[in-house]
RNA sequence: GUCCCCAUCGUCUAGUCGGCCUAGGACGCCACCCUUUCACGGUGGAAACAGGGGUUCGAAUCCCCUUGGGGAUGCCA
């Protein structure tokens, strides 16, 4: 009987949920789902000074948007287990595995400077490892408060088989007796993660490779507590174009991607392809990813965030959606653009308007821009280019000819109606399609960049077309 | 300084335990085609195994060194 796979994403509310964190969450989710396991969330809020309620909320919203909320629905706060953590510290002290350390920050600073000067590894030297009761009393009398440090092996090496990085081995002399409880009584990260991961039954710890250096420390905690080790998997970081992640490179709140008009499916797809691949496939939806995800296939090297490719993924997902599916997601964007929907306009959008433009959209806002003419009333405020087209010799007459022919059409006007009319007019006049199409487009939409005139006429219908044409001629 | 990790086109990557790689795909870029505008789409193209040593009949694939990135070195997570 193997244990059920359990992963967790453990964001810290000292900051936003950015691209890197989102991908770590994604990999945890995918791995758990791929193995029929559970994916949990634990908010690491043990840093009382820097954690904020606002960040917690933003992280939660971001994860929810991406569909990466916990499979058990529980948003666990690490500080909820404070008492448990403190008891564990107490237990280790009783067992002689941890001890009080009264070294002041200034003394630590001096120690580090000295070590640096000598080119040694910078580490706590264990000076208070074996303090007598009298010595402790003396320090207390000075007004010092103790932190608790864990005794760590000084010899040998610590190694583990990382699911993505392979075997990692660290000489123990580079480690030190690290602090497991601060002077303020709050246990520290490296101690608490190990306890919580054990308590929550986490089988696979998947996190950024910036945690590789923390792993040996946590392994000592597992050992001191007598717990079995989980499998560790350290996924590479995501970098910006110039090395470090910057705002431009996605170091921002993932919710900003939602506001920028990205679909969560597209962002997830792009993110999973950063470090993981499924043969030559690019467009991989969540269901397919869950079916095939394997943490052992994740690359070891860091990748660079490329918004241009994200745009391409977004375009792929936008075109997969129908107008009916798109419209609700588009509404906030129309609102932001100051465009007010009504039933007539919704009709235009649903009956061909969105369909006519969605294949060229990279972001949701592109659809809004491309369909804005449905909202506007003729006559338009034409730009220079549009005006010059309308002023072209004979074009207004062409519009009149078209309007005349359109007026006499019986029944619904369609794309074909337009082809028929223009085809006939071309034959009669010897002109080209564009001699009718171009001014028609401008007259109907106020712009030169719009869907095919056949589509536009069909969507508007005879009456609205004539209305718009009449405002010109 | 010390320790750890990484290294294929500009970018994301394929490359399953060395031969099928004169290194494949995708984004972007360039050209052409399609075309009533803008796009979409189609076809083609330029573009990489960081460098140096080994091991081997044979290395992008294994080993070592160099170089270059990144991370850690906190009473942050």
For residue A96, the domain's CATH number is: 3.90.800.10
- Residue A357, CB-side half-sphere exposure with 13 Å CA sphere: 28
The secondary structure of A143-178, three-state, reads CCCCEEEECCCCCCEEEEEECCCEEEEEEHHHCCCC
Catalytic residue among A116, A140, A244, A247: A247
Q: Which nucleotides in chain B have some atom under 7 angstroms from a protein Cβ?
A: 1-8, 10-15, 24-28, 36-40, 69-77
DSSP state of A353: I
Token digits of residue A466: 């004539």
Closest CA to A231 of A158, A159, A163: A163
**A190 domain-assigned:** no
The answer to whether the bond into A379 is cis (omega within 30° of 0) is yes
Which nt is closest to the CA of A165, judged by C1'?
A: B5
Asked if A269 and A325 sit in the same domain, the reply is: no
Question: Do the Cβ atoms of A11 and A44 come closer than 8 Å?
Answer: yes
Backbone torsions φ then ψ of A12, nearest 5 degrees? -105, 130
B71 closest protein residue (CA to C1'): A210
**A104 domain-assigned:** yes
What are the C-alpha distances in Å from A442 to residues A338, A389, A422, A446? 22, 8, 16, 5
DSSP state of A240: B
Estimate in Å the CA A460 to C1' B76 gap, whole number.
Answer: 60
Asked if A403 and A332 sit in the same domain, the reply is: no
Here the CATH number for the domain that contains residue A452 is 1.10.10.350
Which nt is closest to the CA of A13, judged by C1'?
A: B77
Question: Do the Cβ atoms of A63 and A41 come closer than 8 Å?
Answer: yes
State yes or no: is A247 an active-site residue.
yes
Between CA A293 and CA A34 the distance in angstroms is: 6
Token digits of residue A81: 């287990």
Q: Select from A151, A181, A211 the last residue of a domain.
A: A181
Between CA A301 and CA A237 the distance in angstroms is: 8
**A312 domain-assigned:** yes
Which nt is closest to the CA of A283, judged by C1'?
A: B26
Question: Do the Cβ atoms of A234 and A211 come closer than 8 Å?
Answer: yes
- In this structure, the strands spanning A204-208 and A231-235 are parallel
Token digits of residue A52: 């904020």
What are the C-alpha distances in Å from A413 to residues A406, A435, A443? 8, 21, 17
Which nt is closest to the CA of A435, judged by C1'?
A: B36
DSSP state of A278: B
Token digits of residue A37: 């396991």
Here the CATH number for the domain that contains residue A329 is 1.10.8
3-class SS at A121?
A: coil
What are the C-alpha distances in Å from A320 to residues A266, A358, A386? 11, 9, 33
Asked if A331 and A362 sit in the same domain, the reply is: yes
Which nt is closest to the CA of A145, judged by C1'?
A: B75
Question: What range defines the domain where residue A433 resides?
Answer: 378-473
**A210 domain-assigned:** no
Estimate in Å the CA A168 to C1' B4 gap, whole number.
Answer: 8
Estimate in Å the CA A88 to C1' B25 gap, whole number.
Answer: 52
Asked if A393 and A470 sit in the same domain, the reply is: yes
Edge-to-edge strand order for the sheet containing A75-77? A6-9, A38-43, A75-77
Which nt is closest to the CA of A123, judged by C1'?
A: B73
pLDDT at A201 (0 to 100): 95
Asked if A369 and A384 sit in the same domain, the reply is: no
B7 closest protein residue (CA to C1'): A301
Estimate in Å the CA A320 to C1' B10 gap, whole number.
Answer: 29
Asked if A369 and A405 sit in the same domain, the reply is: no
The H-assigned helical ranges of A294-394 are 307-320, 323-336, 343-348, 354-357, 364-371, 384-390
Asked if A293 and A364 sit in the same domain, the reply is: no
Rounded (10°) CA dihedral A214, A219, A220, A222: 130
Token digits of residue A443: 């007259």
Asked if A167 and A122 sit in the same domain, the reply is: yes
Asked if A160 and A243 sit in the same domain, the reply is: no
Q: What is the rounded end-to-end Cα distance, in angstroms, of chain A?
A: 81
Estimate in Å the CA A432 to C1' B53 gap, whole number.
Answer: 70
**A198 domain-assigned:** no
Estimate in Å the CA A303 to C1' B8 gap, whole number.
Answer: 13
Asked if A403 and A422 sit in the same domain, the reply is: yes
B26 closest protein residue (CA to C1'): A282
Asked if A96 and A163 sit in the same domain, the reply is: yes
**A193 domain-assigned:** no
Long-range contacts of A274-280 (CB under 8 A, 24+ apart): A274/A23, A274/A238, A274/A303, A274/A305, A275/A23, A275/A27, A275/A235, A275/A236, A275/A299, A275/A303, A276/A27
Between CA A254 and CA A247 the distance in angstroms is: 11
CB A4: neighbour CB atoms within 10 A? 12
Between CA A449 and CA A440 the distance in angstroms is: 12
Estimate in Å the CA A291 to C1' B61 gap, whole number.
Answer: 28
**A215 domain-assigned:** no
Q: Select from A293, A316, A339 the last residue of a domain.
A: A316
Between CA A263 and CA A317 the distance in angstroms is: 7
**A231 domain-assigned:** no
Asked if A325 and A267 sit in the same domain, the reply is: no
Closest CA to A374 of A404, A334, A329: A334
Token digits of residue A246: 């910057």
Here the CATH number for the domain that contains residue A284 is 3.40.50.620
Estimate in Å the CA A166 to C1' B3 gap, whole number.
Answer: 18
Q: Select from A330, A347, A375 the last residue of a domain.
A: A375
Between CA A384 and CA A159 the distance in angstroms is: 70
Mean pLDDT by 10 residues, chain A (473 residues): 87 89 96 96 87 92 96 94 95 95 93 88 90 93 94 90 92 92 92 96 94 94 95 91 64 88 97 94 95 93 93 97 96 94 94 94 96 83 80 85 88 88 88 89 89 92 89 74
- Residue A125, CB-side half-sphere exposure with 13 Å CA sphere: 12
Between CA A160 and CA A155 the distance in angstroms is: 16
B24 closest protein residue (CA to C1'): A280
Q: How many domains does chain A have?
A: 4
């Amino acid at each position: 009987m193997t244990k059920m796979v359990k992963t967790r994403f453990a964001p810290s509310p000292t900051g936003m949920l950015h691209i890197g964190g989102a991908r770590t969450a994604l990999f945890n989710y995918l791995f758990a789902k791929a193995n029929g396991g559970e994916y949990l969330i634990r908010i690491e809020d043990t840093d009382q000074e820097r954690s904020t309620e606002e960040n917690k909320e933003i992280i939660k919203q971001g994860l929810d948007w991406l569909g990466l909320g916990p499979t058990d629905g529980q948003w666990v706060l690490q500080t909820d287990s404070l008492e448990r953590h403190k008891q564990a510290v107490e237990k280790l002290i009783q067992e002689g595995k941890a001890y009080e350390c009264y070294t002041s920050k200034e003394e630590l600073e001096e120690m580090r400077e000295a070590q640096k000067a000598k080119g040694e590894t910078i580490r706590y030297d264990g000076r208070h490892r074996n303090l007598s009761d009298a010595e402790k009393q003396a320090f207390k009398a000075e007004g010092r408060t103790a932190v608790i440090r864990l005794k760590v092996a000084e010899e040998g090496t610590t190694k583990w088989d990382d699911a993505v990085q392979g075997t990692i081995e660290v000489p123990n002399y580079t480690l030190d007796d690290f602090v497991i409880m601060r002077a303020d009584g709050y246990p520290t990260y490296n101690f608490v993660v190990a306890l919580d991961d054990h308590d929550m039954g986490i089988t696979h710890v998947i996190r950024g490779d910036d945690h590789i250096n923390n792993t040996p420390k946590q392994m000592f905690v597992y050992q001191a507590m007598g717990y079995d080790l989980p499998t560790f998997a350290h996924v590479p970081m995501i970098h910006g174009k110039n090395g470090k992640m910057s705002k431009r490179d996605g170091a921002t709140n993932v919710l900003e991607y939602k506001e920028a008009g990205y679909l969560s499916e597209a962002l997830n797809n792009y993110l999973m392809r950063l470090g993981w691949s499924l043969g030559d496939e690019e467009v991989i939806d969540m269901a397919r990813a869950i079916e095939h995800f394997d943490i052992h296939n994740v690359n070891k090297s860091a990748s660079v965030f490329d918004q241009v490719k994200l745009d391409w993924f977004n375009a792929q997902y936008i075109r997969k959606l129908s107008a009916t599916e798109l419209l609700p997601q588009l509404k906030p964007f129309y609102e932001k653009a100051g465009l007010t929907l009504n039933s007539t306009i919704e009709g235009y959008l649903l009956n061909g308007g969105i369909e006519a433009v969605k294949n060229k959209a990279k972001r949701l806002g592109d659809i809004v821009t491309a369909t804005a003419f449905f909202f506007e009333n003729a006559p338009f405020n034409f730009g220079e280019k549009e005006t010059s087209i309308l002023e072209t010799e004979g074009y207004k007459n062409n519009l009149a000819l078209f309007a005349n022919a359109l007026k006499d059409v019986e029944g619904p006007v369609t794309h074909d109606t337009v082809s028929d009319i223009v085809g006939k007019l071309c034959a009669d006049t010897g002109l080209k399609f564009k001699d009718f199409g171009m001014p028609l487009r401008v007259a109907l939409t106020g712009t030169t960049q719009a869907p095919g005139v056949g589509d536009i006429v069909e969507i508007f219908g005879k009456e609205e077309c004539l209305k718009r044409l009449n405002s010109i001629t």
